[in-house]
Structure 1
Amino acid sequence: MSSSSPFPSLPVCQITIPSNDLINAAYFYTKEHTSEATVNHCLRCAAFSLLFIREFPPLASAPIDLEAVVLSSLMHDMGWSTTKSLLSTDKRFEVDGANIARDFISRNAAESGKWDAHRIQLLWDAIALHTTPSIAQHKQPEVVAVALGILADFLGPNLPLPGNPITVERYKEIVGAFPRAGFSDELVDTLCGLCRDKPQTTFENFVSGFGKTYGLDGKGGGKEEWIKTCEDNEITKRLMGGLQACKQWDD
């Protein structure tokens, strides 16, 4: 790992986010294409992941690809990129982020031989599944660590997990090093914007809930219409409606 790290040491936590040429390049790429609030969120998530890797029993005893964890954490919200040309019009933001990260690694590291298909898939899975902990927790340790680190940024010391390593003191140090910078407001604006601009990508995940709560503009606008749209696209209705329509061909 490089000694010219762009990341500060965290003496209370006794961790430093690993740094090398690829990680640094990913960090600056993320800074170029996302907001300050998103970058700091990703850095906090990386730091929290490192605490889980060191101290959470299921991870502490496992061999961990730290580079994959840090890169996945840094790039996991590229699906919120402010550079709209990087984004699709028809994919969930998690998939956009995973694809952008995979393409970045393929451009910058695949030829080195250190990033084979397995490691790239590991990175893709960690990003694509980071909002689905019920699945991520059954994947590789790296995927688990990334999902836990991201969840910890929302729940901190209140994360209901036995052996949660995020103490109040550690939490305050990490947030102090990488301030929230309006992250809560930006989160609402971003996810409500997905409901408005890519509604078909939000019906099967938590994103639609932001539109139900905050409307399509983050201020309550269009909320009732959005709730009706979600009800019409509810998966149970779609599945049962499909079965009903197929009855004409059933034996």
Structure 2
Amino acid sequence: MRDPYETFDLPRTDVARAAFRFAQETEAPYLFHPSVRSYLFGRELGRLRGLDVDEELLFLGCVLHDLGLTGAGEGDQRFEVDGADLAADLVREHGVPEERVEVVWDAIALHTSPGIPSRKRPEIALVQAGSGADVLGMDADALPRDLVARAHEAFPRLDLGRAITDDVVRQACRRPGKAPALSFAAVLLAERGLSGDRPTWDQMIAAVRWGD
């Protein structure tokens, strides 16, 4: 692979380079590749929308946003929160101020929460927008064809959608706490008929002690 820093003009700060290396070494290629593509697509969508974007923060949020699906990032919380915690620790170790760490945490923790990131600062909104463009093709028509082609050539898709879905489901089956009611993981379990004896929303309401 040609130097992605030259090919795509990626941020070159010490923490950005450290985050890139960490993600590359920690994630399987099918997870690492979309982490970079989401930055390329999110950055371009920000440019098209005329947003004033902190490139380092956007890069950190994008390149680290799936750490919760790795062995290094898997804990007992939903994968978005586990990943945000690990990413925050990583950037904090490189001297990033807490107010910037908080932006990275929010961007990662919220990236599967529709309707919330778009109301936050641009870096948080664009982590979701970039990953949404990459995984689901949202706003894909707005992206330059040349950029999309170069991104896919440098970072192939490797059946991304199915692969990450399987990861989320496997984690949730091993650790039920990773799929709290109404979360993205819980929806995937329900769609695959793997919810087991988890209560439905109606059952949860019916069990409320106040006797509504």
Where on the TM-score scale, by shorter chain, does this alignment land: which range?
0.7 to 0.9
Aligned counterpart, 1:195? 172
Aligned counterpart, 2:204? 238
Give 1:108-147 correspondences, 5 Å limit.
108-109=94-95, 115-147=96-128
Kindly report the root-mean-square deviation, in angstroms, between the aligned alpha carbons of the 2 structures: 2.2
The structural deviation recorded for 1:240 is 4.1
Aligned counterpart, 1:13? none
Whole-angstrom distance in 1 between the partners of 2:91 and 2:145: 35
Whole-angstrom distance in 1 between the partners of 2:131 and 2:37: 8
Q: Contact (CA 8 Å) 1:6, 1:24: kept in 2 or not?
A: no
Q: Contact (CA 8 Å) 1:45, 1:146: kept in 2 or not?
A: yes
Matching residue within 186, 189, 201 for 2:163:
186
User: Structure 2 regions of 5+ residues with no counterpart?
Assistant: none
Aligned counterpart, 2:153? 176
Report which of the two structures shows the higher radius of gyration computed on alpha carbons: 1
Aligned counterpart, 1:93? 79
2:90 matched to 1:104?
A: yes
2:190 matched to 1:212?
A: yes
Q: Deviations over 1:36-75 (max 9, x none)?
A: 111101000010011012112xxx1x43211010001000
Aligned counterpart, 1:42? 35
Q: Contact (CA 8 Å) 2:135, 2:160: kept in 1 or not?
A: no
With normalisation by structure 2, the TM-score equals 0.88
Q: Deviations over 1:54-105 (max 9, x none)?
A: 112xxx1x4321101000100001101133xx4312x110000110011011
With normalisation by structure 1, the TM-score equals 0.75
Higher relative contact order (CA 8 A, sep 6+): 2
Whole-angstrom distance in 1 between the partners of 2:38 and 2:158: 15
Quote the sequence identity (%): 25
